[in-house]
Amino acid sequence: LRIQRSKATDDAAETRGRLEVTQQNLSALEAQNKELRELNRTLQAALLEGFRGGKAASGTDE
């Protein structure tokens, strides 16, 4: 019984460690996702401005 309890304690500690690493990875991915969304918005806005500027310069409304 003592051995089983010790193993259960070790397993629980290992699981807590994996959970902590998983949470750290999740936080890093969420931060990266936020940065990429902001970059995407910036790039889309620049692309639309470039597209509108190109249409205005060419004088077409198509």
Q: Which H/E stretch holds residue 13?
A: helix 2-58
Contacts of 47 (CB under 8 A, 6+ apart): none
In tens, the pLDDT along 8-58 reads: 999 999 999 999 999 999 999 999 999 999 999 999 999 999 989 887 777
SS3 60: coil
DSSP assignment of 37-61:
HHHHHHHHHHHHHHHHHHHHHHT--
Strand runs labelled E in the chain: none
| 0.85 exceeded by pTM | no
For residue 8, the one-letter residue type is A
Residue in the structure block whose two tokens are 């310069």: 57
